[in-house]
Structure 1
Amino acid sequence: MTAAVVVVICGSTRFRDEIAAVNRELTLAGYIVLAPGVFGHAGDPVSAADKARLDRLHLAKIDLASWVYVVNPAGYVGDSTRREIAYATATGKPVRLWDGEPS
Structure 2
Amino acid sequence: MVCLCGSLRFQSLFESERRRLTSRGVIVLGPEPIDEELTPPRREALGELHLRRIDMADEVRVVSEGGYVGEATRREIAYAREKGKVLSSMEPLAL
Structure 2 length as normaliser, TM-score?
0.89
- State whether residues 38 and 44 of structure 1, in contact with CA within 8 Å, keep that contact through their aligned partners in structure 2: no
| 1:35-82 Cα distance to aligned partner (Å, 9 max, x none) | 11125xxx6532222210110000000000000000011111000000
**Residues of 1 paired with 2:61 and 2:36: CA distance?**
22
**Residues of 1 paired with 2:11 and 2:41: CA distance?**
21
Correspondent of 2:41 among 25, 41, 49: 49
The two structures, once aligned, show a CA RMSD in angstroms of 1.2
Structure 1 length as normaliser, TM-score?
0.83
What SS does the corresponding residue of 1:74 show, helix, strand or coil?
A: coil
Which residue does 2:14 correspond to in 1? 19
Which residue does 1:3 correspond to in 2? none
Correspondent of 2:54 among 55, 62, 78: 62
Gaps of at least 5 residues in structure 2 are none
Task: Supply the AA of the counterpart residue of 1:13.
Answer: L
Identity %: 42
Which residue does 1:89 correspond to in 2? 81
Gaps of at least 5 residues in structure 1 are 1-5
| Structure with the larger RCO, 1 or 2 (CA within 8 Å, 6+ apart) | 2
Please say if 1:76 is aligned against 2:68: yes
Task: Supply the AA of the counterpart residue of 1:45.
Answer: E
